[in-house]
Structure 1
Amino acid sequence: MPLILVVDDQPSNIHALYQLLVDDCEVSMATSGAEALAFCAQQLPDLILLDVLMPEMSGYEVCDRLKADPRTRGVPVIFVTVQGSADDEAEGFAHGAVDYIPKPFVDVVVKARVRTQLALKLASESFARSQIELFQRDKLASVGRTIAGIAQELSSPLGNALISACTLQDDVAQLGGLAQAGQLRRSDLDKHLRVSEESVGLLLSNLQRALSIVDSFLQSTADNFGDQRRSFSLLELLHEVVAGLAPSLEAHQVGCELDVGDDLHLLSFRGALAKVLTTLIQNAVKHAYRETGGQVHLRVRPQGTDQLVITVQDHGIGMPPGVLGRVFDPFFSTRFGAQRSEPGLYIVRNLVTFALGGQIQVESTPGVGTTARLLLPMISPESRRLTS
């Protein structure tokens, strides 16, 4: 049976969740963040249901510590809390949670979301084991990460669709019972029609969301975006990228400062590099400066005779360690909502590694900002094309 760790400082909440899940899972309990971390140091649960508002150590801090530790990073965390606003949900996902259940919780919602996350974890682990046994190549490992990322991103809309379907099924059963007993009134029919309409609407919207995620992934994996290796001016490319982003920069009141020095000519994949730089600047615009404007600095310097370093730096809100450790996961974002369907830095790393033959590092400090650093060859290896 899967092992679930319930963490809450209120014994009544722990007892309610225990009674709800004990028939299908092995349930362990912790009444503080320290107890939860100590438990995970001894035994890894398959899923953690974590309260946010706890004395001494909040659920956010517990989640950050779990995500910063390579041993516990892969354990999915669902926040269960009275804080149920959109901003609270966004905060929870920013700290690395996979889902968010508001209190007072609904039994069918808790069961459906727990079942969804456990199924995704089992499928991901099964796939990872089979890949390790069959393949040892980097590109196939990348495929495994991609599938896990898609499954993670699809978990929320599919889980919500399942909840809507269960609600609709229960409502139809109640309506049928009233009709069979001859107790169906006009008011009952109107009520059930409203519930059915809402459930179908939620079901359709979440299924459409799932389809858009799949479509976004398919578009992002086109082979090098039709690019061919050729000689080009880096300075000219940078000006084109910034000019193309001008409307977005202006709308968010963000400036982009270029520090290039002498112009460099590369023999590389121009389209792939343009996509990388565009995505890095867009990330700074969308995520570093969420409420007020700011500045993005793009700096280019040669390194030796055959390499160059490109840095894209902002001085925005930065990222905590738990978030920074996941920035290259497929579809990961610090925001919850429609923007999370973008492949983001996952496809950037693939382009840098497999198309451009280089390396990428991201450094970030909360309240200080984020720096993405690219180390690229002046002449990219033609054989290292992105095909996955």
Structure 2
Amino acid sequence: MPLILVVDDQPANIHALYELLVDECEVAMATNGAEALAFCAQQLPDLVLLDVLMPEMNGYEVCGQLKADPRTRAIPVIFVTVQGSAADEAEGFAHGAVDYIPKPFVDVVVKARVRTQLALKLASESFARSQIELFQRDKLASVGRTITGIAQELSSPLGNALISACTLQDDLSHLGGLAQRGPLRRSDLDKHLRISEESVGLVLSNLQRALSIVDSFMQSTAENFGDQRRSFSLLELVHEVVASLAGALESHQVRCELDAADDLHLLSFRGALAKVLTTLIQNAIKHAYREAGGEVRIQVQALGTDQLCISVQDHGVGIPPALLGRVFDPFFSTRFGSHRSEPGLYIVRNLVTFALGGKIQVESTPGLGTTVRLTLPLISPEARRSTR
């Protein structure tokens, strides 16, 4: 049963409300503001029926203290008072009440308004629980996809390294058997040395690839760039990123155009934002244009006084609608080949969301191109340790 706290300095009023509500609710009572606040500190009621005119501490003051405390802020309060003018009601709502019942009260009205507020509170709590459950399920699903992606990508290089190590082990065993049976021929020794060299080379290259995959995931937070939050020019950073990719842009015959009316200065994580922009431009170079030649446009726009928008746009092949929802999955790619072991937009989303305190959107139309839009605060939040 829902718990209602009735607060009134007149015992007759408390008794009347108790008799009216006890069949549908559990009713607790307080005769002054101090008692009401002490009760709420120990047990949170689902609704408070609060008199306004009380000695020492009036109802407005009690309601104000309830709303000022984060633990009791969500408790709905209905004022029950002889002050029934429109101005009195307006003042009651201004102090945080959800409803206002004038005295002498009508039983049917009290019951109806109590039921309404209890139903609204129940619906609100149910919605909040469902949102939390959805978030937790989505987070678990995201963790599962990440683990699966890492396992799939690591299985190939580690499997290759294991096969190569087993080949080396078998060959050394065979070489040992030959040595025990008599002198080794130069041709046998050369053969086994060649096999050993190839096997060791494959083990090292595949372990290096596995290490690179792990390292890519380690770069998904600002602190892993050795980054400190500091002030910097956005246009200066963009120019540096583009200059660092000059070779890749030239070899793929892709132009990089910058559209920015004004320079903006951020108090943020420079290394993390540089990684984001580098990855987005690299994605456009590698995946947008199947043949050499194209353009990547970077547009910077201020949003009010505290935010900005950075758009990275290409006019390439685009992403099919069926795949657009997977672009933030680790290792997702619209094409297979040598670039598949790159976490890509997975890391970009983590950096934008958790390090830079912003949002990322991807829009794409097959045959017309893709736009990645970043909405970032000019002042990022302080760095938070990642638990992902």
TM-score where L is the length of structure 2: 0.52
3-state DSSP class of the match of 2:285? helix
Q: Which runs of 5+ in 1 are unaligned?
A: 1-131, 176-188
Q: Distance in 1 between matches of 2:330 and 2:292?
A: 28
Is the CA contact (8 Å cut-off) linking 2:252 and 2:285 kept in structure 1?
yes
Q: Distance in 1 between matches of 2:152 and 2:358?
A: 28
The change in CA–CA distance for 1:204 and 1:274 in structure 2 (over 3 A counts) is: closer
1:254 positional shift: 0.8
1:327 positional shift: 1.8
Per mean C-alpha deviation after superposition, the further-off stretch among 151-160 and 309-318 is: 151-160
Q: Distance in 2 between matches of 1:202 and 1:371?
A: 39
Q: Partner of 1:308 in structure 2?
A: 308
Q: Which amino acid aligns with 2:318?
A: G
Q: Partner of 1:326 in structure 2?
A: 326
1:317 positional shift: 1.5
1:203 positional shift: 6.7
The change in CA–CA distance for 1:167 and 1:326 in structure 2 (over 3 A counts) is: farther
Is the CA contact (8 Å cut-off) linking 2:221 and 2:351 kept in structure 1?
no
Q: Distance in 1 between matches of 2:256 and 2:271?
A: 20
Is the CA contact (8 Å cut-off) linking 1:350 and 1:386 kept in structure 2?
no
Q: Partner of 1:245 in structure 2?
A: 245
Is the CA contact (8 Å cut-off) linking 1:289 and 1:316 kept in structure 2?
yes
Q: Which amino acid aligns with 2:146?
A: T
Q: Distance in 2 between matches of 1:231 and 1:279?
A: 22
Q: Which amino acid aligns with 1:332?
A: F
1:144 positional shift: 4.6
Alignment of structure 1 residues 67-146 onto 2, 5 Å: 136=136, 144-146=144-146
Q: Distance in 2 between matches of 1:170 and 1:159?
A: 17
Q: Partner of 1:344 in structure 2?
A: 344
3-state DSSP class of the match of 2:326? coil
Q: Partner of 2:156 in structure 1?
A: 156
Q: Which runs of 5+ in 2 are unaligned?
A: 1-131, 175-187
Alignment of structure 1 residues 237-386 onto 2, 5 Å: 237-382=237-382, 384=384, 386=386
3-state DSSP class of the match of 2:243? helix
Q: Partner of 2:41 in structure 1?
A: none
1:232 positional shift: 2.0
1:214 positional shift: 2.8
1:296 positional shift: 0.3
3-state DSSP class of the match of 2:278? helix
Is the CA contact (8 Å cut-off) linking 1:259 and 1:297 kept in structure 2?
yes
- Deviation track 1:281-315 (CA, whole Å, cap 9, x = no partner) reads 11111111232111001011122332211110001
Is the CA contact (8 Å cut-off) linking 2:164 and 2:200 kept in structure 1?
yes
Q: Distance in 1 between matches of 2:169 and 2:227?
A: 50
Determine which structure has greater relative contact order: mean sequence separation of CA pairs < 8 Å that are 6+ residues apart, divided by chain length.
1
Is the CA contact (8 Å cut-off) linking 2:317 and 2:366 kept in structure 1?
yes
1:342 positional shift: 2.3
3-state DSSP class of the match of 1:371? strand
3-state DSSP class of the match of 2:339? helix
3-state DSSP class of the match of 1:318? coil
